[in-house]
Amino acid sequence: MYEAVFLSDIHFGIMQNEALILEFLRELKTKKLILAGDVISFSVKDTTPNLDTFFNIIKSQDWELIYILGNHEKESLNFEKFANYFKDINILNEYSIDINGNKIHIEHGDNFHYKDPINKAIKHFMLKSKLKTYKKSSKKFKSKRNLYYKIKPLIKKILYKSYINYIKKEAIKRGANIAICGHLHEPEIKQLSNVKYINCGDWIKNCSYVTLNSNGVLELKYYKQKG
Ligand SMILES: [Mn+2]
């Protein structure tokens, strides 16, 4: 039995492997289940297969369920339409756990887009230069388009560094030495000076999750289908 299990970016509604997440959750033994955002894609429909089964499982198991909102839920999900599903669910923007002298800060990570100055500057530059606008258009803008593709990897790199730095700072602000987030869809666990950074990954490509045991040990794991 785990102390807690963390999942993010399941993206119900656009994921292909609903059966897999259902199988995983049915077998899971944990005291707390922490869903760290973008669990439901904004494009979800009430006809999305297995959506009711998914909510039934997360609500009916013995664990304490914590549902942290991601950008997909916050910005675009029609909560009225899905009110029945979210009934009796503890919905939060962030959460924290104290264990064995460690403090874990958990958030989805999308506030980065509103709060981080480097992210804002890059966005501003992309808009001003119109590089992104021309990426798919005609020959006339070929040079802009080529430039866009040339600088894209560099921008990605800068944004990644900026993102993990943002998460680190948010953890420190709250007196936490461990930060768990999602949003990037890139499962990762690494020590950043005085904060351990853990990204839950996603269930579109990776089927990854993070476990916390009673000794305070955190591990990043990948779920594989049985048989
Ligand atoms: Mn997200």
- Residue 172 sits in a domain of what CATH number? 3.60.21.10
Cβ distance 167 to 110 under 8 Å? Answer: no
- Is 163 inside a domain boundary? yes
* 124-128, 176-180, 211-215, 216-220: the lowest-pLDDT one: 124-128
The predicted model scores a pTM of 0.89
With cut-offs at 50, 70 and 90, classify the pLDDT of residue 227.
low
The span from the CA of 166 to the CA of 101, in Å, is 23
User: What separation in Å is there between the alpha carbon of 40 and the centre of ligand 1?
Assistant: 10
Residue 152 scores a pLDDT above 80: yes
Radius of gyration of the chain (CA): 19
The span from the CA of 112 to the CA of 120, in Å, is 9
- Is 227 inside a domain boundary? no
Q: Which residue has the higher pLDDT, 75 or 222?
A: 222
Residues in the chain: 227
User: What separation in Å is there between the alpha carbon of 10 and the centre of ligand 1?
Assistant: 10
Domains held by the chain: number: 1
Domain coverage including residue 207 = 2-222
User: What separation in Å is there between the alpha carbon of 224 and the centre of ligand 1?
Assistant: 23
Angstrom CA distances, 29 to 4, 84, 183, 208, stand at 9, 25, 25, 16
pLDDT of residue 179: 98
Which residues, at least 6 apart from 37, have a Cβ–Cβ distance to it below 8 Å? 8, 9, 68, 69, 70, 71, 72, 73, 107, 108, 109, 110, 182, 183
Phi and psi (nearest 5°) for 14? -120, -10
